[in-house]
Chain A
Amino acid sequence: MDGCRSGVPTYEGDLHVVAAAHHIVKALGATKNLSDDLRKILIDLDSHLSMITSNIDSKGGRGLVDVEERLDQAERKIMRWETDPMMIWDSGPKEASDYLEAVDETGKLVDGLRGLSVHENRKQKEILHRAMNIFQTAMSRLEEELIHILVRHGQQFEPKNMYSRSIRKDIVYDESFVSVEDEPTKETSSQNCSNDESGECIVDLVHADVIPDIKSIAKVMFTSNYGPEFCEAFISVQKEALEQYFSFLGTENLSIEDVLKMEWTCLSSKMNKWTWSMKIIVRVYLASEKQLCDQVLGGLGSVSSYCFLEISKATILCLLNFGEAVAMGPHRPEKLLRLLDMYETLADLLRDIDTLFSEEAGSFIQLQFHELLERLGESAIAAFKAFRVAISSNGSLYPFAGGGVHPLNKYVMNYIRMFPEYWNTLNLLLKNQHPGVADQVTKPDYGPDTSLLTSCPMAYHLRSITSCLESNLHKKSQLYKDEALQHIFLMNNIHYLVQKVKGSELRLFFGDEWIRKHNAMFQQHAMNYERATWSSVVSFLKDNNPGSSSMSKSTFKERCKGFSIAFEEVYKTQTSWSIPDPQLREDLRISTSLKVVLAYRTFLGRNLAYTDDKCVKHTVEHVENSLLDLFGGSSRSLRNSRRW
């Protein structure tokens, strides 16, 4: 049967119909607000009509010959690559565009041929059949080319340059609260990551030059209904790249069981690493990945966000899972700061996440983030509470040797010294715990109105913690039998407390009033010490009868002896006591000296007649010097100055 006939009876009639149809198509095509789909239909229709026209025009099967010639040409261009070891897009832009042209041509031929009534002509069927084969080969090849381009021109960026790692020193806190290292000055509080960079940082995950190539492949594949294959290939390569990067960052998958069993130092460093990785992955990598998806697949509806979701889902969930496991763990006080780090990181990233996963399919991810944030917040508060409980319940059976600064004190003060860095977050979390306490204020820019800072929830809790600590210290001081040592102990410890507060941002939260009060406290203890120790000693040197010129020799001898013995006793005992702070030690010595040496000098001076006697064991200078040995931390006995 004559295949040129499209089944319509008259030749002229055919032409008329076709011409009319062409007219309509052109008119519609000129409309402005056509959707992509509709436009495509019109284009197809147009080529069908052209095909029909050319078929009608040429009698005797010439139309089909044209078609076949065109197909042969396209086939040559496409099939030659099947035996070529090179990749098309590596061979140059001309090769690539030639190939795409050939593919496009084949596609048009397929569409055109399909539009005709295929059952009529065996030759037509054959050509169509061949064209479809070639087309399939081309699509398959495009998929391979795509993968090749993505892999070859994929780029990884150096994470170290992106975000300065938080250099907050890892303070290791032992569970028993006792053996802690006092590392005072290595904290540099301003290196908090969450205060740094605010925006995203987009990098080219695939070299910018090849993006147009990828786009052109996408266009061809999607318009040919090979979109699913494109997505498959694209997602798998990109997903793998992300996961490689993830492991390159050093983050590893851990089961919940592993995390719950993990020992603190190890867990602490993993939590630290997590906060760092999170920022890089979300703000840099995923932001860049999203941009890539938009660049390549934008304008294809929801495909872009679908691909992005599939690429990033597993990695994000893995990161979130670690957070969940941490939040599930026991609420130990030492975890608090790291938990706050994680909390702050997540809080900062929320907006980025909401933007990245804004479509419905991604809402699941958003939800997980919000939930995890809440759980971390709860965990942090629980750790905070555990901190207080640990302080109160830290009991001692024996008095702390030497009366120096108790390790509990060091631990607590060094720990809370870092709280001001998190004050915004802590206030937010604590506010819900104590609705009665005054509301926090907006963050000051370092010209703070101190009265506001001292009344925020965190300040309230800080003072509560230190008062807890103070009660505990008082309890510990009761373990000393010697009253004087009790006072030394309390003097040392309260002084330490005050110094730590004054020497850090804590002073803004504790306020001048508190500092003044506590200064007075330790000074009071100093005075109490003096009274407890020296009153009795100095009493030997008192002049009972100020009016008379001197006392009797025997009285003098007695007094001298009494004084010596008492003094030596004090010397022996109190050289083993400790006042770690040099300034404090100095101050106390001066004060004591003034009291004792003066009294002794006066005493000897008034009784000069007897001073040659052997009963005067110590010179004034000797007494003065001996006083310098006190609070050295190791017991000594006093030598007789006369022997020297």
Chain B
Amino acid sequence: MDTQEQELEDIELFQKHVSDRFTELSSPPEDDALLSVSWLHRLLDVFLCCEAEFEAILIMDRDPSQLSKPPFDRLIPEFIERAVKALDICNAVANGVDSVRHCQKLSEIVISALDQNPLGDGHAKRAKKALLMLLSAMNLDDKEGTHVKATERSWSFGRRGVNKEQIAGHFRSLSWQVAKNWSSAKQIQSMMYNLVAPRGAEASGLPSPIYTMNVIMIFVMWALVAAIPCQERNGLPTHFPVPKQLNWAHSLIGLQEKIADEWKKKEKKGMSGLLDELQKMEKLAQSLIDFTDSFHFPGDAEKVKEAAANVSELKEIFGRMDQGLTPLQMHIREVFHRIVRSRTEFLDVLEKGSAPVV
């Protein structure tokens, strides 16, 4: 009786922690905007914390045979399967961060070109070229078929007059792919498959935290895919089948709806990631391109001033990316390894718990 009570207490505490953590994520401070690089770092931390607590409840001091009986003989393997899918998403997103780093690199050129006083035509031209590449890189459809190869470019065989936007740096290359015909959107969809909230007696027992962890894992993966451009995000589901009555889920659902709204808005215009820095960068790039287009030395003083302000903002975003992107990749890697370990732990538990082999 004692252990059962203890277990119920632990589960309640776990779900309270979950609720608290997501509430914190919902009201970020000033420079930690939703889906910014630093917010994503926090999201990953939340995942790691929840996961650790979850494992402690399920595995520590527990007789393995308990987890081999129904309904756990179905719930645990399902969890493990979802975990594997999450691993592939981690890889896809880590690849995607590379393409964001590429945007960062291009913005560096823009900054270097426009951060001149006085600004000349040459600078503006240089900036414009980089801006075009930047915008193109951000809005490139992350579908498979739009890969533009350097070797196929017509100018390489002596013919000139080719669209300069086609040159260089579209890292939608083969190794960016997780696999042929793989789709991050479909992956999320399949993770959501068969996700049913526990009812009745199960709702107050161990199946409950299992369901919670499943939802957290799916949400984190989903948010990552929404933020960072990665393979085939078309058709990303925007609705989460999580019942609103669940206490711990309120903040999470709130976040999810906010992000989903943004996604729906952007879906029509193009596929750049919802990453806050990317979105800001896109806006700045748009206005800077307009500026460079119409610039003639010495240029309109007002516009030059405005452009300078934009460049200054761009510098700031560049700074944040420069600081946060590589660590983000490492962080995702950490999450990846944690999920691998967790899967191994659960597999071990299942093995120990099932009837010994004769």
- Among B155, B171, B173, B177, which residue has its beta carbon within 8 angstroms of that of A144? B155
A130–B122 Cα distance when bound, in Å, is: 8
Task: Determine which of B125, B159, B343 lies in contact with A133 in the assembled complex, contact meaning CB atoms within 8 Å.
Answer: B125
B167 at the interface (CB under 8 A from A): yes
Q: Is the CB of B84 within 8 A of A260?
A: yes
A82-90, A196-204, A284-292, A557-565 - interface stretch: A82-90
- The proximity string for B residues 71-82 relative to A, scoring 1 for CB distances below 8 Å and 0 otherwise, is 000000000000
A536 interface contact, C-beta 8 A:
no
Q: Is A151 touching B98 in the complex (CB atoms < 8 A)?
A: no
A419 partner residues in chain B, CB cutoff 8 A:
none
- Cα distance A391–B85 when bound, in Å? 34
From B330, which residue of chain A is reached at the shortest CB distance?
A: A364
Q: How far is the CA of A255 from the CA of B84 in the complex (A)?
A: 10
A225 touches B330 (CB 8 A): no
> Is B91 an interface residue when CB atoms closer than 8 A count as contact?
yes
Pick the contact of B112 from A136, A228, A233, A364 — CB < 8 Å? A228
A151 close to B151 (CB less than 8 A): yes
B6: Cβ under 8 A from any A Cβ: no
Quick one: which of A128, A147, A244 contacts B120, CB cutoff 8 A? A128
As a 0/1 sequence over residues 465 to 488 of chain A, the CB contacts with chain B under 8 angstroms (1 = contact) are 000000000000000000000000
Q: Is the CB of B120 within 8 A of A314?
A: no
Known contacts: A144-B167, A228-B105. The answer to whether A253 contacts B84 by CB under 8 A is no
Q: How far is the CB of B150 from chain A (nearest CB, A)?
A: 5
B87 at the interface (CB under 8 A from A): yes
Interface assignment of B109: CB less than 8 Å from any CB of chain A = yes
In this complex, what residue of B is CB-closest to A361?
A: B326
A136 to B344, CA, bound (A): 57
Distance in angstroms between the alpha carbons of A135 and B150 in the assembled complex = 25
B150 adjacent to A151 (CB under 8 Å): yes
Interface residue tally for chain B (C-beta within 8 Å):
55
Tell me the bound Cα distance from A147 to B91 in angstroms. Answer: 30
Cross-chain contact A257 with B84 (CB below 8 angstroms): yes
CB within 8 A of A233: which of B121, B159, B168, B344? B168
Contacts of A249-302 to chain B: CB distance below 8 A: 252-258, 260
For chain A, give the interface size range.
35 or more
When C-beta atoms are compared, the residue in chain A nearest to B120 turns out to be: A132
Contact with A along B330-358 (1 / 0, CB 8 A): 10000000001001100000000000011
At the interface, yes or no: B267 with Cβ under 8 Å from chain A?
no
A135–B95 CA distance with the chains assembled, in angstroms: 36
Task: Bits for B118-133, please: 1 = Cβ < 8 Å to A, else 0.
Answer: 1011110110011000
Judged by DSSP, the binding face of B is: helix
Is A246 among interface residues, defined by CB-CB distance under 8 A?
yes
Residue B106 lies at the interface, judged by CB distance under 8 Å to chain A: yes
**Interface-central residue, A129, A255, A393, by most chain B CB under 10 Å:** A255
> Which B residues from 119 to 166 make CB contacts under 8 A with A?
120-123, 125-126, 129-130, 149-151, 153, 155-160, 164
Q: Do residues A147 and B156 form an inter-chain contact, with CB atoms below 8 A?
A: yes
Could you say which residues of chain A place their CB within 8 Å of the CB of B32? Answer: none
Given A255-B179, A328-B343, A389-B357, do A139 and B126 touch, yes or no (CB 8 Å)?
A: yes
Residue B198 interfacial (CB < 8 Å): no
- Cα–Cα distance between A136 and B124 once the two chains are bound (Å): 9
- B175-A252 in contact (CB<8A): no
Residue-wise interface mask of A (233-252) relative to B, using a CB-CB cutoff of 8 A (1 in contact, 0 not): 10111011001101100001
Would A321 and B120 count as touching, CB distance under 8 A? Answer: no
Interface residues of A in 129-182 (CB under 8 A from B): 129, 132-137, 139-140, 143-144, 147-148, 151-152
- Report if A76 contacts B (CB, 8 A): no
Query: Judging by beta carbons under 8 Å apart, are B358 and A147 in contact?
Result: no
Question: Which of B84, B112, B118, B175 neighbours the largest number of chain A CB atoms within 10 Å of its CB?
Answer: B175
Known: A129-B121, A240-B151, A395-B358. A257 touches B174 (CB 8 A): no
Distance from A488 Cβ to chain B, minimum over Cβ atoms (Å): 27
- Assuming the contacts A240-B149, A314-B98, A393-B357, asked whether A232 and B105 have C-beta atoms less than 8 A apart, the reply is yes
Give a binary string over A328-365; 1 marks a CB under 8 Å from any B CB, 0 the rest.
10000000000000000000000000000000000010
A390-432 interface with B by 8 A CB criterion: 393, 395
Contact present for B156 and A129 (CB under 8 Å): no
Contact A321 B91, beta carbon cutoff 8 Å: yes
Chain A residue nearest in CB terms to B297: A129
Is A233 in contact with B167, judged by CB distance below 8 angstroms? yes
Q: Flag if A90 contacts B167 (CB, 8 Å).
A: no
Does B88 sit at the interface, judged by CB under 8 A? yes
A315 to B171, CA, bound (A): 12
What's the Cα separation between A115 and B177 when bound, in Å?
50
Query: In whole angstroms, what is the CA distance A193 to B347 when docked?
Result: 34
Taking CB atoms, residues of chain B closer than 8 Å to A236 are 150, 168-171
A389 to B356, CA, bound (A): 11
Instruction: Say yes or no: A85 contacts B98, CB within 8 Å.
Output: no
In the complex, chain B residues whose CB is within 8 Å of the CB of A225 = 112
A515 within 8 A of partner (CB) = no
Considering the chains assembled together, what is the distance between the CA atoms of A140 and B162 in angstroms? 13
A632 to B219, CA, bound (A): 69
A313 in the interface (beta carbon within 8 A): yes
CA distance A240 to B87 in the complex (A): 26
Q: Does A118 contact B (CB under 8 A)?
A: yes
Does B291 count as interface, using CB distance less than 8 angstroms? no
Q: Which residues of A contact B118 (CB under 8 A)?
A: 118
Residues of A with C-beta under 8 A to B87: 256
Residue numbers in B under 8 Å from A317 (CB-CB): 94, 175
B330 CB → nearest A CB, Å: 7
Q: Tell me how far the C-beta of B170 lies from the nearest C-beta in chain A, rounded to whole angstroms.
A: 8
- A229 at interface, CB cutoff 8 A: yes
Question: How distant is the Cα of A240 from the Cα of B174 in the complex, in angstroms?
Answer: 8
| Interface flag for A318 (CB, 8 Å) | yes
Q: Measured between alpha carbons, how far is A393 from B180 in the docked complex, in Å?
A: 40
Determine if B14 is an interface residue (Cβ-Cβ < 8 Å).
no
CA distance A314 to B168 in the complex (A): 17
Q: How far is the CA of A353 from the CA of B287 in the complex (A)?
A: 44
Nearest CB on A from B68, distance (A) = 17
Whether, in the assembled complex, B240 has its beta carbon less than 8 Å from a beta carbon of chain A, the answer is no
Q: How far is the CA of A65 from the CA of B9 in the complex (A)?
A: 89
Contact of B173 among A87, A233, A239 (CB under 8 A): A239
Contacts of A252 in B (CB 8 A): 179-180
CB distance from B52 to the nearest CB of A (A): 20
Residues of A within 8 A of B151 (CB): 151, 240, 244
B178: interface (CB < 8 Å)? yes
Chain B residues with CB under 8 A of A257: 84-85, 88
Q: Is the CB of A148 within 8 A of B155?
A: yes
Question: A147 near B105 (CB under 8 angstroms)?
Answer: no
B residues less than 8 Å from A231 (CB atoms)? 105
The answer, yes or no, to whether B176 is at the interface (CB within 8 Å) is yes
* Distance of A147 Cα from B178 Cα, bound (Å): 27
User: In the complex, what distance in Å separates the CA atom of A607 from the CA atom of B121?
Assistant: 129
Q: Chain A contacts of B98 at CB under 8 A?
A: 313-314
Q: Would you call A254 and B179 a contact (CB within 8 A)?
A: yes
When the two chains form the complex, which single residue of A132, A133, A228 contacts B109, counting CB atoms closer than 8 Å?
Answer: A228
B158 touches A240 (CB 8 A): no
Contact call A253/B180, Cβ cutoff below 8 A: yes
Residues of A within 8 Å of B126, CB to CB, are 136, 139-140
Q: Which residues on A sit within 8 Å (CB–CB) of B330? A: 364
Contacts A232-B109, A256-B87, A256-B88 known; list 11 others, CB within 8 Å: A125-B297, A133-B125, A136-B122, A147-B153, A232-B168, A235-B169, A239-B171, A254-B179, A255-B88, A255-B182, A328-B340
Which 3 pairs of residues, A with B, have the shortest CB-CB distance?
Answer: A132-B122, A136-B122, A314-B175
* Interface residues of A, Cβ cutoff 8 Å to B: 84-87, 90, 118, 125, 128-129, 132-137, 139-140, 143-144, 147-148, 151-152, 225, 228-229, 231-233, 235-237, 239-240, 243-244, 246-247, 252-258, 260, 313-315, 317-318, 321, 324, 328, 364, 389, 393, 395
A to B CB contacts below 8 Å, 24 in the list: A125-B297, A129-B120, A129-B297, A132-B121, A132-B122, A133-B121, A140-B126, A143-B168, A232-B106, A232-B168, A233-B167, A236-B169, A237-B150, A253-B174, A253-B179, A253-B180, A255-B178, A256-B84, A257-B85, A257-B88, A314-B173, A324-B340, A328-B340, A393-B358
